[in-house]
Amino acid sequence: MEPTVCPEASKMMQISSDPASNKNSLLNVMRRFIAAANNMDETIMVPSLLRDVPLEEQESAQPARATESNNEAPCPNKQRDMYEHYLLLKSIKNDMEWGLLKREMSGGASFLEMAVKQEQRSHPGGDSEDETSDLEGQFHYHLRGLFGVLSKLTVQADHLTNRYKREIGGGNFMR
C-alpha cells in the first residue's frame, strides 16, 4: 500500500525547499560567506605572512563599488593589516558556525555580542509593548543589515584570498 500525500503537505514541502534554491536567501548568503572564509583559510597556509601587509589595495578598490550599491559611505577598516583582517573574518565565520555559546563558555566577546551590547546601549530601557509591536519591521531591518554585512564579508574574504595568492606568487612577502 502506497502512502498518500495530501496536497497541503506537498505545497509545504515545495515552500520549504524553495528558499534553499533562491540564490538570494539568507541561507545561501551565509553559505557563500562560509565557503569564501573556508577557501581563504585553506589557501592561506601561513597566516603570519599577512602581518604588516596593509589593506590599502582593498581600500582603493572598494569605495567605488560600496557607494554605488547602497549609497552609503564605505566604513573604513579598523584592522591595521591583512593578518588582523584574516583573523576577523575567521572569527566571524566561527561565530556563525558555532554560535555565541562557544564564546560565552570561553569568556571572549564576539563581534556579534559587541554589536548587540552597543544596540542595547543606544536603545536603553524601552516599553516591552513597543519592542514587540513592530517585530516584523525589526526583523526586516536586521535582515537587510545581515544581507549587506554578509555580502561585504564574502567579498572581503575572496579579496584577501586572491591578494594572498598574488603576493605569494609574486614573492612580495619574502623579506
Within 13 Å, how many C-alpha atoms sit on residue 38's CB side?
A: 8
What number is the average pLDDT over the span 26-54? 94
Specify the 3-state DSSP secondary structure of 47.
helix
Burial of 92 (0-12, 13-18, 19+ CB in 10 A): buried
- pLDDT tens sequence across 63-112: 444 434 444 444 454 557 899 999 999 999 999 998 876 656 666 665 55
Q: Look at 29-33, 70-74, 151-155 and tell me which has the smallest mean pLDDT.
A: 70-74
Checking if the pLDDT of 128 tops 90, the result is no
Give the N- to C-terminal CA distance of the chain in Å, as an integer.
74
| 17 or 91, which is more confident | 91
pLDDT band at 20 (very low <50, low <70, confident <90, very high): low
Alpha-carbon distance of 156 to 79, in angstroms, equals 12
Q: What per-residue confidence (pLDDT) applies to 68?
A: 41
Q: What is the mean pLDDT of residues 159-171?
A: 85
**Contact 165/41 with Cβ under 8 angstroms?**
no
What does the pLDDT read at residue 135? Answer: 92
d(CA 96, CA 100): 8
Average pLDDT over residues 119-139: 70
Task: Look at 58-67, 78-87, 123-132 and tell me which has the smallest mean pLDDT.
Answer: 58-67
Average pLDDT over the chain reads 74
Parse the chain into domains and list their residue ranges.
34-120+149-175
Find out whether 164 and 50 touch, Cβ atoms under 8 Å.
yes
DSSP for 68-135?
Answer: HHHSSPPPPP--SSHHHHHHHHHHHHHHHHHHHHHHHHHTPPPHHHHHHHHHHHHS-S--HHHHHHTH
